[in-house]
Amino acid sequence: MSKNTGLNAIEIHYLRLSLGLTVEQVAEITKASTDDVLAWETGEQQAPDLAQKKLLDIDDIIEMQVLNTTDGIEELFKKEPKRRLAFVVYPTQALYTQYNPEFLSSLPLTELYNTAAWRIKKECKLVLEVDVSLVALDAEAYKRYRADNGMSESRESRAKWAATQL
Amino acid sequence: MSKNTGLNAIEIHYLRLSLGLTVEQVAEITKASTDDVLAWETGEQQAPDLAQKKLLDIDDIIEMQVLNTTDGIEELFKKEPKRRLAFVVYPTQALYTQYNPEFLSSLPLTELYNTAAWRIKKECKLVLEVDVSLVALDAEAYKRYRADNGMSESRESRAKWAATQL
């Protein structure tokens, strides 16, 4: 591969950091070894096109998620203006997989979802002047809240629980 | 401190990741211990206001740098349109300190400058459809290039050398 195409060593390193991923997680996502990933980042090997594409696609998906969510919040606030908002994130892969499975195919790791959430927080602050707090789902507290209020499990219930944490 | 103010554990963690910093580097920047930083990120301790402010200020400085540089590139391209550009980054703290000292007070670590460079690359792609390559300064190759071309050391010379690396 010519040096004129694709991401070089420092770029693939900062792409990984900007996604909030460890070397091990990039290896898992790209089906490479950790030695491979380290070699991409030191410039000993060029990262394969497919691996680059996978990571860049994830970055694009996160950006899309940030734009869509920020637009959604802007719409919401036309009817019901407030300046503080809670956004549920998932502290473990198990909770992410259980509660937020619709993202698994596009953002396979809870860390990627949380990276998106962080960028959403930043964008909402910058563009809408809205303070978004990332609220890590506390499964036990959330279950008690649902029991106390006779609510079933849903994205909306999670959002309502999260709002009580502000 | 009330839970309603400042960054919580998951937010301070993702702020660090988005800056591309290790726990050790955050400790250095905020004059805390690595144990402190880990305690902030697990929620055992609230990160002190001053530490939060320091990291958020750095994030703001990076965002400003991204906007200014992207605007500058847009201006430049009104006169001289091209779609590829090299942006010098510094692979070691020693080279950053030697060649780019004007950033030391605002972005004290070369990793922070490189994080800014990565975001500039992304923004230029998205907003201007310009491909920016991050070119790590190779001090020896750069010296030879200057000798061969009778050039003195300057930001412009570095940019010219970097352009030869595309």
Q: Does A18 sit within 8 Å of B119, measured CB to CB?
A: yes
Structure-block tokens of residue B13 = 């963690």
In a domain, A1, yes or no: no
Residue A76 confidence (pLDDT): 86
User: How many domains would you assign to chain B?
Assistant: 1
In a domain, A3, yes or no: no
3-state SS assignment for residue B154: coil
Q: Does B133 sit within 8 Å of A14, measured CB to CB?
A: no
Contact A134/B at CB under 8 A: yes
In a domain, B74, yes or no: yes
Q: Place A4 in a pLDDT band, splitting at 50, 70 and 90.
A: very low
Contact B114/A at CB under 8 A: yes
User: Taking 60 as the threshold, does the pLDDT of residue A2 lie above it?
Assistant: no
In a domain, B109, yes or no: yes
Q: What is the pLDDT of residues B94-126, one digit of tens each?
A: 999 999 999 999 999 999 999 999 999 999 999
Chain B partners within 8 Å of A133 (Cβ): 8, 11
A114 vs B14, B114, B115: nearest CB: B14
pTM for the predicted model, two decimal places: 0.93
In a domain, A70, yes or no: yes
In a domain, A20, yes or no: yes
C-alpha–C-alpha distance, residues B76 and B7, integer Å = 38
Tokens 């962080």 correspond to A118
Strand partners, B88: B135
Which of A7, A8, A11, A60 best probes binding to B when mutated, by most B CB atoms within 10 angstroms? Answer: A11
* First-to-final CA distance of chain B: 51
Instruction: Report the alpha-carbon angle B130-A114-A94, nearest 5.
Output: 135
Q: What is the mean pLDDT of residues A18-39?
A: 98
- Domain of residue B38 covers 9-164
Residues of chain B whose pLDDT is less than 50? 1-4
- Measured over the CA atoms of residue B94, residue B95, residue B99 and residue B105, the dihedral's sign is negative
Q: What percent of chain A has pLDDT over 90?
A: 91
CATH at A113: 1.10.3100.10
Contact A158/B at CB under 8 A: no
Beta strands in A9-128 (DSSP E): 84-89
In a domain, A2, yes or no: no
User: Taking 70 as the threshold, does the pLDDT of residue A5 lie above it?
Assistant: no
